[in-house]
């Protein structure tokens, strides 16, 4: 399997070089979409500058039609069985939960046989999540971490998801312009989250 993956990635690199492909433009991490653009599109994806160790990074900004407090309850429901309706998630388990942080384990459709263990620190007063992959070597990663920030945006909640990561083939994944690449994955994730929250919103309304 590893050898086949290597051959596929090598072929893609050769194809991109042959076609003059240079990948997505890299933006500073401070980049923000114009208000009218975000409202019109609902979500905007950027490839941003990586951290000093290298690798890749993205910034996903999207809107959900709900107040911050309501969507925050949904976003911090780490034990929700609804997570398995995401086509990329094969299994999910809540390992530990405290007032300060949560440990979860996920297995993914695009990484069968591997268990990703995440530590998520919750900042309730700022509606911010800091996440970090705590077993990167077991998952073929050098590192993977980032933040998810929620904030009011008129009648919506604006979510800013930033991630820094490095693994074999990260450059290809980030720059694939079709299904299987980062853009398709993030577009699906934002759409799935909107649709799932809309379906389950009654659970997270003010009580």
Domains located in the chain, CATH noted: 24-203 (3.30.530.20)
Q: What is the mean pLDDT of residues 93-111?
A: 95
- Helix 68-75 to helix 182-200 angle (10° resolution) is 110
Query: By C-alpha distance, which of 58, 93, 95 is closest to 189?
Result: 58
Assign 179 a pLDDT band (cuts: 50, 70, 90): confident
Q: Which contacts of 46-55 are long-range, i.e. CB under 8 A and separated by 24 or more positions?
A: 47/23, 47/174, 47/175, 47/182, 48/162, 50/164, 50/166, 51/164, 53/142, 53/143, 53/166, 54/166, 55/142, 55/143, 55/164, 55/165, 55/166, 55/167, 55/170
For residue 23, is pLDDT > 90? no
For residue 190, is pLDDT > 90? yes
Assign 43 a pLDDT band (cuts: 50, 70, 90): very high
Global pTM reads: 0.89
Contacts of 83 by beta carbon, 8 Å cutoff, 6+ apart: 89, 92
For residue 5, is pLDDT > 80? no
Q: What is the mean pLDDT of residues 106-129?
A: 96
Which is more confident, 146 or 7? 146
Query: By C-alpha distance, which of 123, 147, 121, 143 is closest to 133?
Result: 143
Residue 129's Cβ-count burial label (10 Å; 0-12, 13-18, 19+) is buried
Q: To the nearest 10°, the Cα dihedral for 57, 30, 45, 81?
A: 70
Assign 180 a pLDDT band (cuts: 50, 70, 90): confident
Count of CA atoms in the C-beta half-sphere (13 A) of 115: 9
Digit-coded pLDDT (tens) for 47-86:
999 999 999 999 999 999 999 999 999 999 999 999 999 9
CA dist 46 and 61 (Å) reads 9
CA dist 173 and 169 (Å) reads 6
Tokens 């590192």 correspond to 143
Share of the chain above pLDDT 70, in %: 89
């Amino acid at each position: 399997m590893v050898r086949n993956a290597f051959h596929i990635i090598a072929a893609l690199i050769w194809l991109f070089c042959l076609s003059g492909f240079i990948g997505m433009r890299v933006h500073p991490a401070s980049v923000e979409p114009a208000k009218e653009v975000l409202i019109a599109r609902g979500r905007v994806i950027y490839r941003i500058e990586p951290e000093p160790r290298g690798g890749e990074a993205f910034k996903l900004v999207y809107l959900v039609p709900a107040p911050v407090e309501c969507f925050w309850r949904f976003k911090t429901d780490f034990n929700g069985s609804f997570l398995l309706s995401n086509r990329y998630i094969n299994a999910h388990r809540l390992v530990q939960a405290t007032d300060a942080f949560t440990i979860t384990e996920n297995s993914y459709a695009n990484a069968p046989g591997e268990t990703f263990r995440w530590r998520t620190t919750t900042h309730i007063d700022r509606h911010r999540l800091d996440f970090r992959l705590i077993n990167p070597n077991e998952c073929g990663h050098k590192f993977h971490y980032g933040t998810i920030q929620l904030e009011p945006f008129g009648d919506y909640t604006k979510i800013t998801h930033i991630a820094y990561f490095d693994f074999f083939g990260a450059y290809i994944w980030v720059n694939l312009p079709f299904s299987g690449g980062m853009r398709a994955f993030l577009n699906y994730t934002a759409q799935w989250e909107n649709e799932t929250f809309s379906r389950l919103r009654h659970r997270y309304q003010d009580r």
